[in-house]
Each structure stands twice: as structure tokens, then as C-alpha cells.
Amino acid sequence: MADFIKELAKQVHEILPSEAEITSIEAEGPEIVIYTKNLKLFQDQERLIKGLAGQLKKRFVVRSDASQLMTPEEAEKKIREILPEEAGLETIMFDPEFHQVNIEARKIGLVIGHHGDTLKEIARQTNWVAKPLRMPTMPTTMLKSIRQLLVKEAKTRKALLKKVGKQIYREQTKPTDWIRFTTLGASRQVGRSCFLLETPESKVFLDCGLGTGPGDQRFPYLSSVDFSLDELDAVILSHGHLDHSGMIPYLFEYGYDGPLYCTTPTRDVIALLQKDMLNVFVKNNEVPPYDEKAIKKQILHCITREYGEVTDISPDMRMTFQNAGHILGSALTHLHIGDGAHNLVYTGDLKFGFSELFDPAESRFPRVETLVIESTYGGNVHTTAPRFMAEKQLMDYIINTVEKNNGIVLIPSFAVERAQEAMLVIEAYARQHPEWDIPVYLDGMIKEACAIHTAYPEYLKRNVQRRILHNDSPFSSHIFQSVDPVKREEIVNQGRCVIIAPAGMMNGGPVLDYFKRTCEDPKNQLIFMSFQAEGTLGQKIKGGARKVVLEDKAGAREYEIKMKVNEIPGFSGHADFNQLLGFYKKLSPKPERVLTIHGEEKSCVNLARTLGYKFRVEASAPRNLDAIRLK
Ligand SMILES: [Zn+2]
Ligand SMILES: [Zn+2]
């Protein structure tokens, strides 16, 4: 890398004028950082950096040389003078390691200014580069602690990024003669997504999640990997769900010390879900695969990328995320391998249809030779009713149960995505019906998850985004109330309400408490809005069980289910069968090969067969531990 950076530095010096006064050039993760004694010049002439990036095909970041930085006390004063009152400034946090100042505000548009004018003014006057961070419109302890951790551990992070930079820009010693894709999980099954992509030079993991099966079947086949974890160049994470992310902290606990690439919201969502998962392990008297320290370690190793940002991750791999439409921050991963040798798109989980929160998945790429596509609904039978009908159904059930029968509607829901989708549907209805007086109670981590959504409106659909930016967040509507666990009994006794509570499959979480309190009253109704996996309580009840034995403080007790039980399938965050075909039809350009994963055996096989037959493409459904040579 020394050679590469030396060579690059020489070119930078040649391109930039001497008044740029460059003092050093370093690789920090995938970014090339230029330190200068004349930061003002770069603020005044934006084309300098744009020209450099265009010519040298690298991402450049410019920072002031330490000698030029204003003292934090003075700089803070200046920043407060420069920022307009309406920006809603919350905190100013100096990060001396990165010569950067984090500015947390409610309206970051005003911190940035027209064409970035305010940021430039801060840099001109103080020599600190300002990084605007959006304050969520609702309180969140998770996001706050992550942002604080990153500043507190800046020294560790900087050392880490430098090490990663060295790895990425090392000299390629082995030509990209072959490319191999190995399935370590989620093949002909849902859960424990984990794939290894290799060339003679590089090794990359795509996702590393947990499964729902018994014993060892919960974990991906990590023991089959015949190299040590420190030989891994990168772990790329498609989105926050635990079947994709649940085992990543475990990698850090067992010797991996490299980067985790994901979008910024995904970084926050995984921390939220993994922490919750550890609690579930403890509650079930099981030993969790790692502890909270490993989650922290994972956060420090995150290199976050936005959709569309092209990033070098090894000497012969370049990665770009695109919107997957599935949950907050979910991404399709495009990998450009071996300088044009091969291009692979890994979908992770995708949605290619209407949802309240997200645009459908991106389907256009510069090149694709191999497509690895999820198959959750790859079976022919998996087509769902149109979304508007599902939404109408939900509101009909609520009106009937609550308005007409004074009952309670209980919705088991994942804290991320499904809860917010349901909230948006109910909120839209309530806005159109001013007489609406039904309280909607949110329990568990739902409020926290909503808050994280409001910190990243740019990841949401335009109209939700607009409302959050105009201080009219649908998640903050007066109809929603967060519940303190001690109030659960009171809420149920009052009756006449909607309760949304995790976990989505009723295999734990506050929903169980509500279920026990509401299931024996025929006025009430239980509504399933999401997939219920084999072996879960949700699946049992959905399947028709009318008596269930549940653990109470006093021991096991049999509950008779007298409440109505209904399912609304149209809310899934996954593409249904037609949408999967629709995605493939739209996909441009068309790949030479398709691998179907992340579905039950029948679904993976059916999707591969259908795509092969309909579109005349080589499509197959690999089994776990299959290794496929792509080139
Ligand atoms: Zn998912
Ligand atoms: Zn998944």
C-alpha cells in the first residue's frame, strides 16, 4: 500500500496547484484523506476535489492540518454564530482525531446551507470540517449512545480505518483467475444467511445471520471455512434482520478485525435488534453466542455507505449498495470483481411492490453476470392480495372489533418495519376521519425503532420523508402512545384499543403478556400481519390451535383462545412471487446466471425453474455448502 499511496500522492501533487499546501495523504478505510494547510482553497474551489475524484477514480476527503485548527472553545462560539437559530442545534461534538466536528441539529438542511454554503463557512472560519447529523424527532437512547461511542472511541477507530486502508490498497499479488461463491447458510431454507465470495486475492462474507432451527442448525457453516477469520477482507451486510446480521458480533468475538460495510441506518438497527436478541437468550435460560461487548466492537468496525456510493473493498473488489425496499436501510449489493472480470448482485431481502415506507428495489445496474436472489415467496402459491385491499382489511377489522364491539385488537409485530407500516395505515385513516378516538398502544422497542426511522428520512418514501422534515412525523401522531410495562393491565382493563407489540411471531416479547390478558375474551381479535415460521407460537395459533399452554410466574397454565384470529398476508416486506418475476423482468442488464436462495426448498427450486423457463437463463437453487465457480 505504501507504494500505491505514494504513487497516488505523486499524482495528487501533480494535479493540485501548489497553493493547496498538502501536508500528508493517507488511506482511511476506502477513503483517501488529504491534509492541507489551506482548507479554505478547497472550500472556495469545489472543482479541485471533484476533478481529482474524476481523474483518479477514488473517494477523497479533505481535512485541515492539525496546526491550523481553531481551539474547540473558539470554534464552538463561531459555529453558534454562523448557524441560523431555526437549525434547531442540539449538540456540537468535536472529534480531534478526525479534525471533524459533529453538529447534531433538528434541521440539518439549515446546517448544510444552500449548496453547502454554511458548512463551507464553518470550515473557512474554523478549519474544522463539519459533519451534520440529523436529530431524530423522537427520543432514542440507542442512536445517542452509538453517536457518542464513535466519538469516544475515535482513536481506536482511526487506527482501525488506517489498517483497513492498508488492506484495501495493498498490491494485488494474485490475478483474478477464478471467482467462487460458497453458500454457508440460507440455501433451500430461510435463516442463517451467509455467503463467501472469493477470488485468489480476496475473501468477503455477504451477511452472517442466525437461523431459527434447533441446535447447530441455527448457525451458518462457519466451521467449514478453511482459513482464519483475519484473512477475511470484508463483511458486507444487506440489512438489519437477525437472519442476516445475528452472527456478525460473533465474528468479531472470534478474531475478525476487519470492516463491516452497511448503510448508516442498518448500523443502528442491528445494534437495536441484537441487544434485544441477547435479552431473549437470557430470558429463555440459553447461553447467547456473544455479549454486548461484541456488539460494541461491531459498531466500531462499521464503515457506512449510502446507496449509490462506489467503494473499493479489496484490491480486486468494488462494492455499491442500492435500495432493496425491504426495511430501513436495506440494500442490494453490487460487486464489481477483478477489474471487469465479473459483476454480482446479491439481493439480500427485497420488496418490489407498493409499501408505505419505501420505494421498490432498484433494478438497474451497470453490469450483472450473476444474480443471487431471495426466494421467500418463490413458490407459485405465494401471490398476495393487492396492498390496498390488505390495508382496507386491517381497518375493517379494527373498526369492527374496537368501534362496534368495544374489543381490543392485538397485533404481534416486528419492532422494525411491520409496526411502522401498520402505524402509517392507521394514522392515514385517523387523519381522514376526525372523529377517530381509538388509542393505539405501542410496546417494546417499537417507539425506539420509529425514532431511528425519523433520523434517516432520506431512506423513506418521499411523502413520509416530507412529513418528517416538516415536523409532522406520522410516528409522532397523538393517536400513538408508548406503554410502560406496569400499565399493561390498566390498558387491557380499559379495553377499546389497538395494541401493537413485538415479537412478530409471538416467540417472546411483550405481545405474550397482552395475549394472555386478552385471548379468553371473544370480543377481542388477534391479527397476524407477518410470516409465522414453523415452530413458533404464532404459527400454532394461526394454524388453528384453540388451546395453548404458556408459562406464567406461577408455572404452566392452559389458555383457551376465544378471541378471533385473523391473518392479513398482504403486508409482507418481501416481494411475492409475481413481484420476484417483475423484478427479474425489470432487471437491467440481464445476468448470465441466477442463484436462488433464502426460501424453503420448494420455493427456491420453483423460482429457479420458473426464471430458467420463462427467461431462458441458467438458474439453480444451491444447497448449503455448495461452491459455485462464477468465473
Ligand atoms: Zn429481512
Ligand atoms: Zn431474511
Same domain, 559 and 422: yes
Res 625 pLDDT > 50: yes
Choose one of 539, 555, 571: the last residue of a domain.
571
Q: Which residues contact 392 (CB under 8 A, 6 or more apart)?
A: none
Q: In 592-624, which positions are buried (b, 16+ CB within 10 angstroms) versus exposed (e)?
A: ebbbbbbbbeebbbbbbbbbeeeeebebbbbeb
Q: Is residue 468 part of a domain?
A: no
Give the pLDDT confidence score for residue 544 in this predicted structure: 95
**Pairing of β 31-36 and β 22-28:** antiparallel
Q: Give the ligand at the shortest distance from the Cα of 241.
A: 1
Q: Give the ligand at the shortest distance from the Cα of 328.
A: 1
Q: Give the ligand at the shortest distance from the Cα of 325.
A: 1
**Cβ 10 vs Cβ 32: under 8 Å:** no
Cα of 346 from ligand 2 centre, angstroms: 12
Measured in degrees and rounded to the nearest 5, phi and psi for residue 146 equal -65, -45
Res 1 pLDDT > 70: no
CA nearest neighbour of 229 among 258, 208, 200, 206:
258
Same domain, 185 and 40: no
CATH code, 411:
3.40.50.10890
Distance CA(574)–CA(530), nearest Å, equals: 10
Which of 204 and 340 is assigned the larger pLDDT? 204
Cα of 583 from ligand 1 centre, angstroms: 17
Q: Which residues pair with 621 in a beta bridge?
A: none
Cα of 461 from ligand 2 centre, angstroms: 21
Q: What is the DSSP string of 500-517?
A: EES-TTSSSSHHHHHHHH
Same domain, 60 and 84: no
Cα of 429 from ligand 1 centre, angstroms: 27
Same domain, 567 and 435: yes
Q: Is residue 317 part of a domain?
A: yes
Cα of 123 from ligand 2 centre, angstroms: 43
Q: Is residue 449 part of a domain?
A: no
Q: Is residue 558 part of a domain?
A: yes
Cα of 579 from ligand 1 centre, angstroms: 16
Q: Give the ligand at the shortest distance from the Cα of 416.
A: 1
Cα of 79 from ligand 2 centre, angstroms: 44
Same domain, 259 and 209: yes
Element holding 130 (H helix, E strand) = strand 129-134
Cα of 348 from ligand 1 centre, angstroms: 7
Q: Give the ligand at the shortest distance from the Cα of 186.
A: 2
Give the pLDDT confidence score for residue 29 in this predicted structure: 96
Same domain, 498 and 413: yes
**Cβ 413 vs Cβ 531: under 8 Å:** no
Torsion, Cα of 601, 605, 610, 613 (10° steps): -170
Distance CA(353)–CA(361), nearest Å, equals: 8
What is the pLDDT averaged over residues 193-209?
98
**Which pLDDT tens digit goes with each residue over 236-269?**
999 999 999 999 999 999 999 999 999 999 999 9
CATH code, 288:
3.60.15.10
Q: Kindly state the cell numbers that stand for 396.
A: 375493517
Cα of 241 from ligand 1 centre, angstroms: 5
Average pLDDT for the chain: 95
Choose one of 67, 96, 121: the last residue of a domain.
67
Q: Give the ligand at the shortest distance from the Cα of 244.
A: 2
Same domain, 214 and 237: yes
pTM for the whole structure: 0.95
Cα of 418 from ligand 1 centre, angstroms: 11
Res 324 pLDDT > 70: yes
Same domain, 211 and 336: yes
Distance CA(515)–CA(511), nearest Å, equals: 6
Res 35 pLDDT > 50: yes
Cα of 355 from ligand 1 centre, angstroms: 15
CATH code, 106:
3.30.300.20
Q: Give the ligand at the shortest distance from the Cα of 418.
A: 1
pLDDT over 70 percentage in the chain:
100
Res 2 pLDDT > 70: no
Give the pLDDT confidence score for residue 152 in this predicted structure: 96
Same domain, 510 and 534: yes
Give the pLDDT confidence score for residue 282 in this predicted structure: 85
Q: Is residue 454 part of a domain?
A: no
Cα of 349 from ligand 1 centre, angstroms: 5
Same domain, 248 and 369: yes
Cα of 497 from ligand 1 centre, angstroms: 29
Choose one of 521, 537, 571: the last residue of a domain.
571
SS3 154: helix
Q: Kindly state the cell numbers that stand for 552.
A: 406464567
Same domain, 510 and 564: yes
CA distances from 88 to 115, 249, 356, 458 (A): 19, 35, 28, 19
Cα of 213 from ligand 2 centre, angstroms: 14
Q: How confident is the model at residue 554 (pLDDT cuts 50, 70, 90)?
A: confident
Q: Is residue 456 part of a domain?
A: no
Q: Is residue 453 part of a domain?
A: no
Q: Which of these ranges, 280-289, 465-474, 519-528, has the smallest mean pLDDT? A: 280-289
Cα of 501 from ligand 2 centre, angstroms: 20
Give the pLDDT confidence score for residue 531 in this predicted structure: 82
In the chain, what are the helix, strand and coil shares in percent, each to the nearest 5?
Answer: 40, 20, 40
Q: Is residue 466 part of a domain?
A: no
Cα of 244 from ligand 1 centre, angstroms: 7
Same domain, 278 and 356: yes
What is the pLDDT averaged over residues 291-299?
97
Residues in the chain: 631
**Cβ 264 vs Cβ 240: under 8 Å:** no
SS3 318: strand
Cα of 347 from ligand 2 centre, angstroms: 10
Element holding 481 (H helix, E strand) = strand 480-482
**Cβ 222 vs Cβ 271: under 8 Å:** no
Give the pLDDT confidence score for residue 280 in this predicted structure: 82
The domain tally of the chain equals: 4
CA distances from 61 to 27, 98, 118, 130, 168 (A): 10, 11, 18, 12, 17
Distance CA(533)–CA(548), nearest Å, equals: 17
Cα of 117 from ligand 2 centre, angstroms: 42
CA nearest neighbour of 377 among 176, 209, 590, 531:
531
Domain that holds residue 75: 69-135
CATH code, 62:
3.30.300.230
Q: How confident is the model at residue 464 (pLDDT cuts 50, 70, 90)?
A: very high
Q: Give the ligand at the shortest distance from the Cα of 324.
A: 1
Q: In 442-454, which positions are buried (b, 16+ CB within 10 angstroms) versus exposed (e)?
A: bbbbbbbbbbbbb
